[in-house]
Structure 1
Amino acid sequence: MKIKSIKAYHVVQPFVDGPYRMSKGRVADCFDAVIVAITSDSGVTGWGEMAPLGNFYSAAFPAGTRAGVPEIAPHLIGHDPRGLAGIGRLMDTVFKGHPYIKAALDMACWDLAARAADVPLVTMLGGRESETAELYRVVTHGTIDQMAALAKKIVAEGYHRLQVKVGGNVRDDIERVTAVAAAVPKGTVIFCDANAGWTPYQARQFADATRSIDYTFEQPCMTIEENMSVRRMLDKPMVLDESVTSLGEMLEIHRRGVADGLTLKISRLGGVTQTRLIRDVAVDLGFMITVEDTGGAEIDTAAMAHLSLSTPEEHRLHAIAFHEWVTVRTAANKPPVTGSRMGIPDGPGLGIDVAPDLLGKPFFEIG
């Protein structure tokens, strides 16, 4: 089997609930996605998707993806898409760095390989560990009353896990989280995610003032060293997200005992190949794991679901359904969500029936 053609589409995906707000005034109105279709000489097509959250969240930006895919794609023509490790090495050889650009291409090869084998992707990722994964919802940054009201609304809709955005003015965030915790039932799982927005001094202030609240602290500071300085005084679990950029960084986090859990972003790591590798090693080292991405619709959410459900349940934290965030559709079906839990679509590969007519005209095509 050989790669015969590659197409790339640009799809803007506005948010259902309006602007997504984080600390320090960071705001995004949409996911700005690149969707890739890779077709083999046997006529099988695999799909991949990558969508940064603005230009501020990760070391990725939409225009970079649109510029980078045409640089890499010609080198893949004629290669076997099932040779996933080799495809990854080839992309790294011809295009140094920029893993986010390679993520959609890598995902499409995995989808194609699983479709060609007539098995769901979860089977190739180690096997299905459970039928569904528990979802969390985000309480975005806002006023105290807005955040408390949003938390109550999310819980009323049947969700039991909240990621509360912090990382702004410390005193205000203390009041925000206190109000959110008081507004939801006891036992609601709360993650306080600063998105690396604080200095260690600020993070310690927050942690000290909120000792009576049950939550998990997520990525308070930017660097591993800064998070370690917070970890030393922390009496709560810590999860790192932005710090996990490679296998080497994950091993350094483990060596230093910085975190109890990790959030793995597919695009930040360069695709399904590296995400699966880091996930498997991290599970063996005892970490709790969340697999998600920086954004996307049905295609990317399906990849997240397959990786989540092939993660041992005792090491899985939760998942997120990004396709429910956006106003546009890219496929005839979607990852099934029932209540606060998400499964995977039926069928081989990702199980997603992409509708090319919903994607518009490709901005790049070769083959």
Structure 2
Amino acid sequence: MHIETIKAYRLMQPFVEGRYNMSKGRGADGFDAVIVSVTSNTGLTGWGEMAPLGNFYSAAFAAGAQAGVAEIAPHLLGQDPRALTRLNRLMDTVFKGHPYIKSALDMACSDLTARAAGVPLVTMFGGRESDMADLYRVVTHGPVETMAANAKQIVSEGFHRLQVKVGGIVHDDIERVAAVAASVPKGTVIFCDANAGWSAYQARQFVDATREIDYTMEQPCVSIDDCLSVRRSLDKPMVLDESVTSLEEMLDIHRRGAADGLTLKISRLGGVTKTRQIRDLAVDLGFMVTVEDTGGAEVDTAAMAHLSLSTPEERRLHAIAFHEWVTVRTARNAPPVIGSRMGIPDGPGLGIDVDLELLGKPFLDASY
């Protein structure tokens, strides 16, 4: 089997609830996705997707993915799509760095490999550990009253896990989190996610003032050093997200005891192959793990679901249903969401059925 054709599409995916706001005035109106199809000489096609959250969240942007995919694709034509480790080494050889550019290509080849084997992708990732994964919802950064009302509404819809955006002016964020915690039932799981928005000094101010609130701290500062200094004064769990950019960074976090849990983003790590490798080692090292991505619709969410549900349940934190965030639909047979839990689509590979009419004209159409 060899790769016969690679096509790529760029698609804007507006958010259902309007602008998504984080600290420091950062925000986005939707995901700017790059979707890739890889077709073999046997006629089977695999799909991949990556979508950055604006240009401010990760070291990734859609225009860069579009340009980079066009650069890498010719090198993959004629290669065996099932040789995933070799393909990743090849991509790293011909295009240094920029893992987000390679993510959709690796995902598409992984999907194609599982389809060729006639098994769901979760089987290739180690096997299904449970039928459904718990979902969380985000309380975006904004006025205190708005955030409290949003949290109350989310819980009324049956969700029990909240990620509350902080990382702005510390005293205001203290008030925000206190109001959110007071507005939801006791036992609601709260993550306070600063998205690396604070200095260590600011984060310690927040930690000291919120000791009576039950939450998990997520990525308070930019550097691992600063996050570690905050953790030393923290009497709650800490999860790192933006700091996990490679296997080496994950091992450094473990050696230094800088976190209890990790959020692994597929595109930040270069695709599902490398994410699975890091996930497995993180689990063996004792971390709690969330597997998700920077954004996307049905294709990317399906990959997230397969990785989440192949993560041991006792080590899995939660998941997120990005395809429900956006107004467009790119595929049928999306990951099923029942209440506040998400499953895996039925069928081989990712299990999704992409609707080509919704994707429009490809910006790349390369053939062997």
TM-score category by the smaller chain? over 0.9
Q: Which residue of 2 aligns with 1:117?
A: 117
Q: Which residue of 1 aligns with 2:169?
A: 169
> Could you tell me how far apart the structure 2 residues matched to 1:45 and 1:163 are?
36
Q: Which residue of 1 aligns with 2:155?
A: 155
Q: Which residue of 1 aligns with 2:321?
A: 321
Q: Which residue of 1 aligns with 2:198?
A: 198
SS at match of 2:332: coil
| 1:243-262 correspondence to structure 2 within 5 Å | 243-262=243-262
Checking the alignment, whether the CA contact within 8 Å between 2:306 and 2:344 is kept in structure 1 is: yes
Q: Which residue of 1 aligns with 2:268?
A: 268
Q: What do the CA deviations read for 1:40-73 (whole angstroms, capped 9, x no partner)? A: 0000000000000000000001110011000000
Instruction: Name the aligned partner's letter for residue 150 of structure 2.
Output: L
Task: Output the TM-score relative to the length of structure 2.
Answer: 1.00
Instruction: Name the aligned partner's letter for residue 197 of structure 1.
Output: G
Give yes or no for the alignment of 1:20 onto 2:20. Answer: yes
Q: What do the CA deviations read for 1:222-272 (whole angstroms, capped 9, x no partner)? A: 000010110111100000000000000000000000000000000000000
Unpaired stretches in structure 1, ≥5 consecutive residues: none
Cα displacement (A) at 1:193:
0.1
> Could you tell me how far apart the structure 2 residues matched to 1:320 and 1:43 are?
32
> Could you tell me how far apart the structure 2 residues matched to 1:29 and 1:254 are?
35
SS at match of 2:331: coil
Q: Which residue of 1 aligns with 2:29?
A: 29
> Could you tell me how far apart the structure 2 residues matched to 1:101 and 1:264 are?
16
SS at match of 1:290: strand
Give yes or no for the alignment of 1:303 onto 2:309. Answer: no
SS at match of 2:90: helix
Checking the alignment, whether the CA contact within 8 Å between 2:333 and 2:346 is kept in structure 1 is: no
> Could you tell me how far apart the structure 1 residues matched to 2:173 and 2:332 are?
41
> Could you tell me how far apart the structure 2 residues matched to 1:116 and 1:237 are?
42
Q: Which residue of 2 aligns with 1:228?
A: 228
Unpaired stretches in structure 2, ≥5 consecutive residues: none
SS at match of 2:354: coil
SS at match of 1:217: strand
Q: Which residue of 1 aligns with 2:335?
A: 335
> Could you tell me how far apart the structure 1 residues matched to 2:125 and 2:27 are?
34
> Could you tell me how far apart the structure 1 residues matched to 2:224 and 2:142 are?
28
> Could you tell me how far apart the structure 2 residues matched to 1:247 and 1:97 are?
14
Q: Which residue of 1 aligns with 2:44?
A: 44
Cα displacement (A) at 1:278:
0.3
Q: Which residue of 1 aligns with 2:83?
A: 83
Q: Which residue of 2 aligns with 1:346?
A: 346
Cα displacement (A) at 1:333:
2.1
Give yes or no for the alignment of 1:214 onto 2:214. Answer: yes
User: What percentage of aligned pairs have identical amino acids?
Assistant: 79
> Could you tell me how far apart the structure 1 residues matched to 2:366 and 2:40 are?
12
SS at match of 1:280: helix
> Could you tell me how far apart the structure 2 residues matched to 1:306 and 1:332 are?
16
Q: What do the CA deviations read for 1:330-364 (whole angstroms, capped 9, x no partner)? A: 01221000000000000000000001111000011
Checking the alignment, whether the CA contact within 8 Å between 2:127 and 2:310 is kept in structure 1 is: yes
SS at match of 1:196: coil
> Could you tell me how far apart the structure 2 residues matched to 1:308 and 1:184 are?
26
Q: Which residue of 1 aligns with 2:56?
A: 56
Give yes or no for the alignment of 1:293 onto 2:298. Answer: no
> Could you tell me how far apart the structure 2 residues matched to 1:250 and 1:274 are?
12
Cα displacement (A) at 1:101:
0.2
SS at match of 1:78: coil
> Could you tell me how far apart the structure 2 residues matched to 1:27 and 1:283 are?
32
Q: Which residue of 1 aligns with 2:361?
A: 361
**In the comparison of the two structures, how many residue pairs are matched?**
367
Checking the alignment, whether the CA contact within 8 Å between 2:28 and 2:54 is kept in structure 1 is: yes
Instruction: Name the aligned partner's letter for residue 261 of structure 1.
Output: G
Cα displacement (A) at 1:78:
0.4
Give yes or no for the alignment of 1:105 onto 2:120. Answer: no
| 1:123-138 correspondence to structure 2 within 5 Å | 123-138=123-138
Q: Which residue of 1 aligns with 2:70?
A: 70
Q: What do the CA deviations read for 1:290-344 (whole angstroms, capped 9, x no partner)? A: 0000000000000000000000000000000000000000012210000000000
Task: Output the TM-score relative to the length of structure 1.
Answer: 1.00
SS at match of 1:195: coil
> Could you tell me how far apart the structure 1 residues matched to 2:69 and 2:247 are?
24
> Could you tell me how far apart the structure 2 residues matched to 1:265 and 1:145 are?
31
> Could you tell me how far apart the structure 2 residues matched to 1:49 and 1:200 are?
35
| 1:169-188 correspondence to structure 2 within 5 Å | 169-188=169-188
Instruction: Name the aligned partner's letter for residue 315 of structure 2.
Output: H
Instruction: Name the aligned partner's letter for residue 129 of structure 1.
Output: E
> Could you tell me how far apart the structure 2 residues matched to 1:228 and 1:45 are?
44
> Could you tell me how far apart the structure 2 residues matched to 1:329 and 1:282 are?
33
Q: What do the CA deviations read for 1:10-44 (whole angstroms, capped 9, x no partner)? A: 01000000000000000100100000000000000
SS at match of 1:138: strand
SS at match of 2:259: coil
